Amino acid sequence: MTSPQTVLITGCSSGMGREAALALHRLGHRVHATARRPESLADLAAQGIATSALDVTDERSMADAVAAVEAEHGHVDVLVNNAAYGLHLPVESATPEEVRAQFDTNVFGLVRMAQLVLPGMRRAGRGRIVNISSMAGRFSPPGGAFYHASKHAVEAISDSLRLEVAPFGVEVVVVQPGPTITGFGATAVGTMHGGPADDRTDPYGAFRRELADMYANRAFTRRGGAVPAETATRVIVRAVTAPRPRARYAIGTLARGTMLAKRLLPDAAFDALMRRSFPLPKAV
C-alpha cells in the first residue's frame, strides 16, 4: 500500500491509536481519527487530521462514522480496530455488567465495525482490517480473565475473518502488543472497582491492591519490559502499509517470549511462571 489510503481508526483519544493516526497522517494517508469524546481529538484536528465521534458500543455512532467516510471517499481502505480497555478483576468479583461492557467494547464493537466497512471494501475489490489484539490473546494471568478473554476472541474472529474475506481482496491483520508505555496501565487500575479494599470483607482485597500496584508502577515501565509507544506505532504503521502484510505482528520481546512459552510449555510449567510473575490471592 504505497499510494495514499483512507484509514479509519477507532480509539484515538490516547495511546497507540493517537500515535498511529499522527504517523499515518505524516505519511500522507487520509486519516479519520475517532473517539467517544471528539473534544479529546482537538489537537489532531489542529494538525489537519479528520476527526469525529465514534462510540463502538453505539450502533448509530458506528454506522454514522462509516457512512461519513464512505460519502467522502467511496469506501474505507483500511480499518484499524484499536478501541479497547482492560478490565482487571478476579472472576468472582466482576459484575455481569462489567463483563458485558468489556466485551461490548473489545469484541462486539470490533466485529460491528468490520461488518460496516466490508460491503464497501468488497465493492472496491480491496481493503484491509487491522485488529489491535494483544499478547493477552494467547494467555491469561490471575486478575486478567475478562480482558484476556476478549483478546482471545479477537484472535479467533480475526482468523476466521481472514479466510472469509480473502476472496474479495480484503486482508485481515492482527497486531499483538505486549506492555507499552502509554496510559493503559492507569486505565487498567481504574477498572479495579469497589474502592479501597477491605480485607475483612473482601477475600481478594490484598490481591486487588497488589495487582493495581503492579499495573500502575511496574508492568508498563521499561524495567517491566514495556516498549515505547513509538515502537508500537511503527509496527501498526507497518501492518497498515505493508504491500504483503503478515497475518500477525507481535510487538516487543516480552510479548514474543511469553507467547512462545505458552505454546511450548506444559500447563503446569506455564502456571508456575504466572505464579512467579503475578500476585495471587491469599487464603486466610
Q: Is 46 helix (H, G, I), strand (E, B) or coil?
A: helix
Q: Is 13 a catalytic residue?
A: yes
- A 10 A CB-CB count for 117 gives 25
Q: Which helix (H) or strand (E) holds 128?
A: strand 127-132
Phi/psi of residue 58, each to 5°? Answer: -125, 115
The single residue of 13, 134, 150, 158 carrying the catalytic annotation is 13
> Which is it for strands 127-132 and 78-81: parallel, antiparallel or unpaired?
parallel
> Residue 216: left if φ>0, alpha if ψ -120 to 50, beta else—which one?
alpha
CA 14 – CA 181 distance, rounded (Å) = 12
Distances from the Cα of 136 to the Cα of 163, 178, 182, 251, 283, angstroms: 23, 8, 16, 12, 27
Q: Is 147 a catalytic residue?
A: yes
The single residue of 134, 150, 151, 215 carrying the catalytic annotation is 151
The single residue of 3, 52, 93, 133 carrying the catalytic annotation is 133
Phi/psi of residue 199, each to 5°? Answer: -65, -20
The single residue of 3, 61, 140, 147 carrying the catalytic annotation is 147
List the one residue out of 97, 109, 102, 100 whose CA is nearest residue 86: 102
Q: Is 140 a catalytic residue?
A: no
Sort 219 into a burial class: Cβ within 10 Å, 0-12 / 13-18 / 19+: buried
Instruction: Confirm if 25 and 31 have CB atoms less than 8 A apart.
Output: yes
Residues tagged active-site: 13, 133, 147, 151
